[in-house]
Amino acid sequence: MPEQSSSAARTAPGDVRTVACIGAGVIGGGWVAHFLARGYDVVAWDPAPDAEERLRALVDAAWPALQRLGLAEGASADRLRVAATLAEAVAGADFVQESAPERLDLKRDLLAEIDEAAPAGVVVGSSTSGYSMTEMQVKAARPERLVVGHPFNPPYLVPLVEVVGGDSTEDWAVSWAAEFYRVAGKEVIEMDRELPGFIGNRIQEAAWREALHMVANGEATVEQIDRSMTAGMGLRWAFFGPCLTFHLAGGEGGMAHMLDHFGPSLKSPWTRLEAPELTRELRDAMVAGTDEVVAGRSTAELIEQRDRRMIAVMRALAEVEAEEAAQAAREGGRG
């Protein structure tokens, strides 16, 4: 990590008033809706000729859901301004979120352009799905303030954002970005090191690649694959991640028993991914890490919490599905 530069953030995370969003497609538009709903002024820029029309349509479509979730004081879709140039968009920004296409060459040039135009001390977050900031910040004159702020679609509903700097990013910028995203209502994972694909995408890409293999080999249909998630583990993963879920697979014996019982299955052809050796060190690390998440709750308490939350998720889904079915019936049984 480079020496701390004399520059530090121009604005405290809690004093941000204006956010610039560069790139206003699926994700950039979702960020615009999120920041507007959290009560910020948002200035967007996107080179596409129809970008403003698309952007305002996306915000208008998202707004009812955001109103149901609860808008911040002073939040208004009217606080969106679309700038004619990138420089105009970032000139008065307290924070910049980049959401341009996932192309390394484009990100490098764009981050350098944003860096040149944005005031000193303004942190810039990239929505990149998997590039490291180290490889993206190579053309920037002031790379110390560039971080990854990887969201999940749609950013205005899915709370997670993964934050990590590059080799030329300074610690203050990573800490500032993590704190700003929290203040802006996001759930932050501040990573200790760069990892291609960060955390969430590595997990979901593993599932995604298996899904593609199964379809390619005629082993499962798209419908079966999606239903295996929505009627299976997806219900659990909304509130217990894969580790805590498998802790309960071990019953009273927890993660330790689960690994001892199902450890040999790691070598079964259940996946095309190479399994790690289940060493004693890995076993102990999984048990210790899970114990931290368990935080003293008994298996009975966890089972009760799991079942209560799963019933809540299932009831909420059933309620929405009944409303959708009734709506479809009113509309003449739309397919």
Ligand X SMILES: NC(=O)C1=CN([C@@H]2O[C@H](COP(=O)(O)OP(=O)(O)OC[C@H]3O[C@@H](n4cnc5c(N)ncnc54)[C@H](O)[C@@H]3O)[C@@H](O)[C@H]2O)C=CC1
Ligand Y SMILES: C[N+](C)(C)CC(=O)CC(=O)[O-]
Which residue ranges make up the site for ligand Y (CB under 6 A)?
129, 152-153, 201
160 is in the binding site of which of ligand X, ligand Y, none (Cβ under 5 to 8 A by kind)? none
User: What is the dihedral sign for C-alpha 273, 279, 285, 290?
Assistant: positive
Q: Is 7 left (phi over 0), alpha (psi -120 to 50) or beta?
A: beta
33 is in the binding site of which of ligand Y, ligand X, none (Cβ under 5 to 8 A by kind)? none
Name the minimum Å distance from CB 156 to ligand X.
Answer: 12
Name the minimum Å distance from CB 243 to ligand X.
Answer: 23
Residue 217 contacts residue 229 (beta carbons within 8 Å): no
Closer residue to ligand X in complex, CB, 111/123: 111
106 is in the binding site of which of ligand X, ligand Y, none (Cβ under 5 to 8 A by kind)? ligand X
CA distances from 266 to 230, 240, 249, 274 (A): 24, 21, 15, 9
299 is in the binding site of which of ligand X, ligand Y, none (Cβ under 5 to 8 A by kind)? none
Residue 37 contacts residue 156 (beta carbons within 8 Å): yes
Check whether 250 is labelled as a binding-site residue.
Answer: no
Q: How far is CA 320 from the centre of its chain?
A: 24
Name the minimum Å distance from CB 103 to ligand X.
Answer: 8
Closer residue to ligand X in complex, CB, 158/183: 158
Residues numbered 29 to 58 that lie near ligand X (CB under 6 A) are 46-48, 51
201 is in the binding site of which of ligand X, ligand Y, none (Cβ under 5 to 8 A by kind)? ligand Y
Question: Residue 86 corresponds to which tokens in the numbers above?
Answer: 């990138």
Q: At what angle do helices 280-294 and 242-249 cross, to 10 degrees?
A: 100
Question: Residue 216 corresponds to which tokens in the numbers above?
Answer: 């390619």
Nearest to 225 by CA among 209, 237, 213, 211: 211
Tell me: does residue 125 bind ligand X (CB under 6 A). no
Which residue's C-beta sits nearest to ligand X?
A: 25
Name the minimum Å distance from CB 208 to ligand Y.
Answer: 8
22 is in the binding site of which of ligand X, ligand Y, none (Cβ under 5 to 8 A by kind)? ligand X
Tell me: does residue 101 bind ligand X (CB under 6 A). yes
Helices within the chain (DSSP H only): 26-37, 51-69, 86-91, 104-117, 133-136, 171-183, 200-216, 222-228, 234-237, 242-249, 254-262, 280-294, 299-330
User: What is the dihedral sign for C-alpha 263, 267, 270, 272?
Assistant: positive
Q: Is 277 left (phi over 0), alpha (psi -120 to 50) or beta?
A: beta
Name the minimum Å distance from CB 248 to ligand X.
Answer: 30
The correct pick among 4, 153, 265, 327 for binding ligand X (CB under 6 A) is 153
CB atoms under 10 Å from CB of 34, counted, come to: 28
Tell me: does residue 110 bind ligand X (CB under 6 A). yes
Check whether 25 is labelled as a binding-site residue.
Answer: yes
Check whether 23 is labelled as a binding-site residue.
Answer: yes
How does DSSP assign 158-208, residue by residue? --EEEEEE-TT--HHHHHHHHHHHHHTT-EEEE-SS--TTTTHHHHHHHHH
The correct pick among 128, 132, 169, 290 for binding ligand X (CB under 6 A) is 128
166 is in the binding site of which of ligand X, ligand Y, none (Cβ under 5 to 8 A by kind)? none
Closer residue to ligand X in complex, CB, 179/205: 205
Check whether 28 is labelled as a binding-site residue.
Answer: yes
Nearest to 89 by CA among 47, 139, 33: 47
Closer residue to ligand Y in complex, CB, 202/297: 202
Binding site: what residues are annotated? 23-28
Q: Which chain residues interact with ligand X by CB under 6 A?
A: 22-28, 46-48, 51, 99-102, 106, 110, 127-129, 151, 153
Binding site for NAD(+): what residues are annotated? 23-28
